[in-house]
Amino acid sequence: MTRSLDDCPQLRHDGVMTRIIFEFLGGPNDGSSVHGTLGDGGDAERYYLFTNHGTIGHRFKVASDYAVEALAHEELKVEEPHHFQRHYYVVTERLEDGNEVWVRAAYQPDRGK
């Protein structure tokens, strides 16, 4: 069951936080999942918000672990900026059950757009 954006409050009427599970298929995040709740500021919440509350068909970018590690350990290059491959995912499924929202995203190779 999918609800409208107006029906996706952070805190439900009974005080229970909405739990988010975001699962990735393919690409650099293949087989991984992130868990969290709305309002915790974690990765699950970020992906949920970047995808307009897990809207099916919504496309979004993620950084690979390599890109994150490289930028964490190297000085930012202004003259010759880093060029990392872009990794796109698209939301393919969304299920909602009580206080839990499960979102699955599949890898879409960069098409140069």
Over residues 14-61, the pLDDT tens digits come to 557 899 999 999 998 899 999 999 999 999 999 999 999 999 999 998
**Distance (Å, whole) CA 1 – CA 20:** 15
CA angle 41, 44, 17 (to 5 degrees): 70
Burial per residue of 45-81, b for 16 or more beta-carbon CB atoms within 10 angstroms, e otherwise: bbbbebbebbeeebebebbeeebeeeeeeeeeeeeee
Question: Could you tell me if 35 and 20 are in contact, meaning their C-beta atoms sit under 8 angstroms apart?
Answer: yes
Show me where the domains of the chain are located: 5-109
Give the pTM. 0.72
